[in-house]
Amino acid sequence: MTNRPSVPENSDSMGTVNVLVSPERSMEVLSRLEVNRLLDTSESGLHELFRRCSLAVLNCGSTEDNSKAIFERFRTFDIRVLQQERGIQLELVNAPAGAFVDGAMIKGIREHLFSVLRDVVYTQFEIVENPAFDLLSPANITNAIFHILRNAGSLSPQRDPNLVVCWGGHSISREEYDYTKEVGHELGLRGLDVCTGCGPGAMKGPMKGASIGHVKQRLTGARYVGITEPGIIAAEPPNPIVNELMIMPDIEKRLEAFVRVGHAIIVFPGGAGTAEEILYLLGILLTPDNKYIPLPVIFTGPRESAEYFAMIDAFIAATLGPDAQKRYRIILDDPARVAREVRSGMALVENFRAQHNDAFYFNWLLRVDQDFQTPFVPTHENMAGLELQRGQAGHRLAANLRRAFSGIVAGNVKAEGIRRVEEGGPFRISGEAEVMAPLDRMLSAFVDQGRMKLPGTKYEPCYRLAD
């Protein structure tokens, strides 16, 4: 039996259960060293990382986007690896009851749980502790990302380019969410697969719409790819449509994974996290070596989002300039046109990669500089030291602006970032007036429009812009 409650109907007032879970065809065996490290609660062990990522997966459907609050609510949750004669089992203690139906774990959530186990174990033992990977070298970082994705089975050489990366916020209006579903539906009708950050809102909507389009076309084997990382997964738990889940080691490797596997990118409305993604993408596309590499990029939303995209476009114009604006199109209130543009852009991607002998399943030719690969730790000192002035190359400024938004995301929803703000006060961000003024306008708009936190939540800024 794969999901046997250790105590039938064992639940408490917080809605938790105890259960034993066995794998199905994945991660059925682990070495003793791997098991010991997963049980090790010391700083050098993997237990806390595994526990937190597992809790996030089990907490699917949560309406809370504060990682610290989630971990506190389920502070008694634990997960243990049991070595059995025929493989392993996972013992879950005080797990969220919403992951179960009549005492049995929902199949999709169980798949996600063992995806967490797969990626935590592989990344630590085969990447981090492997001397063959120098994670200070750009080429080796990209190679590590490739190996993590390949181990997860997410690289499909038999498929023509058809994977659309969709970015956007977890806190969006009903009109914006419905629009993401409409765009997803048009993508699905054209046989296109969807990759998102795997959470709710604009990450769930395109998958939901695409699933209907795929069913209408009687397509099988459709892919709904979710890529996340340990710092954000609790605030944005994988939505139930995701059928390929990958946990990358940090936000930088997560972002690089998106641009390596995707064949087109659609950006829906969002907040600080979406701004971080936009700046990361534009910074890479502004890198001189990438000038002629095709990658369709479309910003889109319903007509109600016209002001939002005008603001984003104005911010990009004021900071990164017209070269950055040339790398995307803004299409409002026209899901079918978005899908057609994506499909035609993918034909250019396919031709380019065929001519240059680049893989369809992993964009090796795209140059990602170390500025976009080195993990940024959002401490007060690092946030205050960001170089936010225009006298540098566009892709360098984009990298620093990306770091600023990464710190704001951390202070908004990531447990460690929230703790730093609680202890040291808001992050201080300073820079050239010509950069800070449009930054202030955009952040203020995000706050006014409720894009920093889920609806109904009072937002306390985790940052302060220097006078």
What are the sequence ranges of the domains in the chain? 3-130, 154-467
- Asked if residue 425 has pLDDT above 80, the reply is yes
pLDDT band at 8 (very low <50, low <70, confident <90, very high): very low
pLDDT band at 27 (very low <50, low <70, confident <90, very high): low
CB 67 within 8 A of CB 235: yes
**Amino acid symbol at 347:** A
Q: What is the pTM of this model?
A: 0.92
3-class secondary structure, 46? coil
- Residue 59 token pair: 């907490």
Segment 358-365 mean pLDDT: 96
> pLDDT exceeding 70 applies to what percent of the chain?
94
User: Pick the residue with more confidence: 235 or 431?
Assistant: 431
Give the span between the Cα atoms of 139 and 136, in whole angstroms.
Answer: 9
Tokens of 269: 């409305």
CA atoms within 13 A on the CB side of 322: 0
pLDDT in tens, 268-323: 999 999 999 999 999 999 999 999 999 999 999 999 999 999 999 999 999 999 99
* pLDDT value at 118 more than 50: yes
Instruction: Provide the pairing of β-strand 16-21 with 463-465.
Output: unpaired
Q: Token pair of 419, please?
A: 């703790």
Per-residue model confidence as pLDDT tens digits over 235-247:
888 999 999 999 9
Spatial neighbors of 289 by CB under 8 A, at least 6 apart, are 367
Q: What is the 3-state secondary structure (H, E, C) of 290-317?
A: HCCCCCCEEEEECHHHHHHHHHHHHHHH
3-state DSSP call for residue 193? Answer: strand
Residue 111: both structure tokens together:
């798949």
- Looking at every residue in the chain, the average pLDDT score rounds to 91
Tens-place pLDDT, residues 194-233: 999 998 899 999 999 999 999 999 999 999 999 999 988 8
What's the pLDDT score for residue 243?
A: 95
pLDDT at residue 65, rounded to an integer: 66
User: What's the confidence (pLDDT) of residue 13?
Assistant: 40
**b/e 123-152 (16+ beta carbons within 10 angstroms → b):** bbbebeeeeebebeebeebbbbbbbbbebb
Q: Which fold has domain 154-467?
A: Rossmann fold (3.40.50)
DSSP per-residue letters across 133-157 = --TTSHHHHHHHHHHHHHHTT---T
The 3-state DSSP class for residue 168 equals: coil
DSSP state of 128: I
Which CATH number is associated with domain 3-130? 3.30.1850.10
